[in-house]
Amino acid sequence: MKKYLLILLMTVFLTSCKQEGPPVVVFLGSYFPSWIFYFIASIILVLLARILLIKISIDQLINYKPILYISLVAIFAFLFSLLFS
């Protein structure tokens, strides 16, 4: 059973390795690296997450806020890169 699960996971993760051309986004006729848009989208998501954490009074309990929010930006950017590239 573990062998089949490993093969399934490998096929899922290795299918995203094929890429045709550089990872760019055409915006208003100019070519931009896609990571810029992923970074901007992840910052927006982190701001929304922070607003949600403030509303439910969890933000005041977090000790290392800069580390948390920078890590969330990186996690969201990497997830966008995996999902949309």
Q: List average pLDDT for each run of 10 residues in the chain, which is 85 residues long.
A: 74 63 72 85 95 92 91 92 79
Q: Which amino acid is at 34?
A: S
Q: Is residue 47 part of a domain?
A: no
Q: Is residue 7 part of a domain?
A: no
In this predicted structure, what is the pLDDT of residue 39? Answer: 93
Q: Is residue 48 part of a domain?
A: no
Q: How many domains does the chain have?
A: 1
Q: What is the pTM of this model?
A: 0.68
Do the beta carbons of residue 62 and residue 68 sit within 8 Å?
Answer: yes
Rounded Cα distance, 3 and 21, in Å? 33
Q: Is residue 28 part of a domain?
A: no
In this predicted structure, what is the pLDDT of residue 16? Answer: 58
In this predicted structure, what is the pLDDT of residue 59? Answer: 86
In this predicted structure, what is the pLDDT of residue 22? Answer: 67
In this predicted structure, what is the pLDDT of residue 43? Answer: 96
Q: Which domain holds residue 64?
A: 55-85
Q: Is residue 12 part of a domain?
A: no
Q: Is residue 8 part of a domain?
A: no
Q: Is residue 71 part of a domain?
A: yes
How is residue 25 annotated by DSSP? E
